[in-house]
Every structure is written in C-alpha cells, then in structure tokens.
Amino acid sequence: MIETTAESASTYPPDVHCLKLGNREIFLIGTAHISKESVDLVRQVIAKERPDCVCVELDEKRYEALAKRKTWELLDLREIIRKKQLSTLLINMILASYQKRLGDQMGVKPGTELLEAVQEAEKYGIPVALCDRDVRVTLRRAWQSTSFWRKNYLLASILTSMFEETEITEEKLRELKESDVLSELLSELGQAMPELKQVLIDERDTFLAEKIKGAEGKRLVAVVGAGHVAGIKTALGEDRSGQMEGINIIP
C-alpha cells in the first residue's frame, strides 16, 4: 500500500510527492519538461536526499538523444525508410518541434530536468535507472492503435502544428508548468482520440511504476512529467507486473 508522508508538505513544494511503499521511501518529482524551476527542484531534491537510486522518465534512446542533443536531421533517412520507421520519425519530429517552440519561449531546452537528474546522480555516485518504455515501442503502439481515417487526421493535425508560428500564450505556458508536454500535445491534437492517451500516458504510467518498484535501494528519487504523477501513484499501490509483457510488444 502506498502512503503519502507529511514531509512533502513541510519540506518541498507540491511538485514533490514523498511516498512510503512498505519499508521504502520514494520522492516522486512531477516536472514540466520545459521549466527552469523543474531543473532547479530536481537538483535540490537529489542533493538533499542522496537516494540509493535515481529513476528517470527516459529510455535509452531518449537519454541518448538528450545527452548528445541528437536530432532527426542527423539520422540516416535511407535506413529509416528501409526499416519502415517513417511514422516513428514523423511523430518524433512533431514532438521535438512542439517542445522546441516551448523551450525557445521559456529559455529551457526540453527534457533538461531529466538530463539534470542523471548528471546530478552521477555527480554523487548514485545509480540511475532509465524507467520509461522504449520510445519506439510506444510510438509504434500508438500508430497501430489508430484507424486509417484517424491516422490521416492525426498527420494533418501534427503537420499543421509543426509549422505553426503562433506564439504560445502565457496562459498555456502556466498550464504546461502543471502538466506534461506530451499530454498537452495530445490534447491539442484532438480530444477524440482516447486510444492515444491509453498508449502514450496510461500504459507508460504502469510501466514507469513497475520499473520504479524494481529499482534497487530503499530510498529513491523518481523524476517524471507532472502528467504521469497521479497514474504512477495509483500504479505503485497495485501489482501490475502481469501487464508488463502485454504493454511492451507491438501488436
């Protein structure tokens, strides 16, 4: 059973959820992926708590992209076409474009707080667990879950958003500080596509929670997008290990 401790209210802002899971303590940090405040908060919590392990909402591919600042322009397009990964490339381009617009306005590169969590852990010799599902599996499952007509609608919507030059409003930026950029992008692409939320948010909540539970140590810091916090807290209190194989395959 998962419990919330009083320490979260007295020591840290509401973005930090101090949880008890049996004899383990988990500091679950909900971040906005384009917020300088999130970067500072991640650094502060890791430095203060010195956990046994730092868990981050990254898989190996996304970590490599962040660490090396690798972009889609550097990819071998012939190899992508040969492996039939154009849909994955396109969605990655759209998300990167959307996050770049936000980062340009807020002065923070997308995902900086996740990379900061890894670097801060390494500074103190703390092991790091990359807890997210392989982004290729996530994107392929999302693509496979949509019908032909909805694929066309999705492509039209995301292409429009990719080349849109409209400045993001202050109100939207405030909303994003309380949410996950991916969640907001999905919301903008259409509320009528719940199958995308299922794959991109709900399944990953389960995956992240099970990986966090599988991390070594009794004192953990977990850094995730704010939009995942509620789902992860629910999943931490349940045994969903039996779902892991099913949500980690491409149908």
Q: For residue 29, what are the β-bridge partners?
A: 16, 223
On the CB side of 199, CA atoms within 13 Å amount to 21
**Six-digit token pair at 217?**
């140590």
High-pLDDT (> 90) share of the chain, %:
39
Mean pLDDT of 24-41: 86
**What are 244-250's contacts with CB under 8 Å, separation 24+?**
244/206, 244/207, 244/210, 247/133, 247/141, 247/203, 247/206, 247/207, 248/133, 248/134, 248/137, 248/207, 249/137, 250/137, 250/140, 250/141, 250/144
Q: What pLDDT is recorded for position 61?
A: 83
Q: What pLDDT is recorded for position 66?
A: 76
Whether 224 and 30 have beta carbons less than 8 Å apart is answered as yes
CA angle, 1 then 223 then 126, to 5° = 95
Q: Where are the strands (E) in 61-209, listed by range?
A: 128-130
**Six-digit token pair at 75?**
């990819």
Domain containing residue 119: 2-248
Residue type at position 133: R
| pLDDT greater than 80 at residue 153 | no
Residues in Cβ contact with 46 at an 8 Å cutoff, skipping those fewer than 6 apart? 54, 117, 120, 121, 124, 126, 221
Residues in Cβ contact with 89 at an 8 Å cutoff, skipping those fewer than 6 apart? 72, 75, 80
Whether 52 and 125 have beta carbons less than 8 Å apart is answered as no
Paired sense of beta strands 128-130 and 53-56, if any? parallel
164: number of Cβ within 10 Å = 12
Q: What pLDDT is recorded for position 63?
A: 86
For the segment 59-82, what is each residue's pLDDT rounded down to a tens digit?
998 888 777 755 444 444 455 445
* pLDDT band with cut points at 50, 70 and 90 for residue 49: very high
Q: Which residue has the higher pLDDT, 57 or 190?
A: 57
Mean pLDDT of 153-170: 61
Number of domains observed in the structure of the chain: 1
